[in-house]
Amino acid sequence: MSAPVRRGAPPGEVRIVGGRWRRSKLPVPPLPGLRPTPDRVRETLFNWLGQHLHGWRCVDAFAGTGALGLEAASRGAVEVVLVERQPQLLRALHEHVQRLQGASDVVRVVGGEALGVLAGLPAARWHLVLLDPPFDGGAALFEAALRQARRLVAADGLAYLEAPQPWDEARLASLGWAVQRHLRAGQVHAHLLRPLDNLQP
């Protein structure tokens, strides 16, 4: 969520769309280029996922404002890991977790580079891995994040990818993924991905 799509100041807050913290507003640090996932895209994503994530374990690998991961926790996830490297955003994430009642029981904020943190998480444990890499990070970053996510998800798990362009099926298949749903909203392409069964090592 920390990738620039346009110049200028980010919105001053994000809003949790559903679940126990529905309508909670979270302040956003004034960092130029910050790109929170729009409410409409988050609402669509959680419509795809079925609204309730009771018992799910989730990783928000490029957390930024934390809107995606906190939305998952609001909707019943039992474990959510928020990964962010930017110090100001890290402070804000810790504040969000303290502000939202019960969040500290299920949400863990981890500082560091996303790929390194993902590499240290247990494999085949997670129901949902959320990937919103910097849009200017290059194809190698996206591919590395998708590979790590494929290692992390359970057999029936899913990944969510935001990107500045759609990812074609052949390219995703080479990384062990198939597209389940796709949405374009302005300059954002949102993909819900499921793991392929025939991934080769």
Mean pLDDT (10-residue bins), the chain, 201 residues: 41 89 90 80 94 96 95 98 96 96 98 98 98 92 98 97 96 97 94 80 43
Of 149, 59, 63, 67, nearest in space to 106 by CA: 59
Q: Which two tokens stand for residue 178?
A: 């198939």
User: So what CATH class is 13-195?
Assistant: alpha beta
Q: Which two tokens stand for residue 108?
A: 């863990």
- Provide the edge-to-edge strand list for the sheet that holds 79-84: 107-111, 79-84, 57-60, 126-131, 153-163, 188-195, 177-185
Which residues are paired to 182 by β-bridges? 191
Give the Cα separation of 19 and 78 in Å (integer): 13
- Domain assignments of the chain as residue spans, ordered by start: 13-195
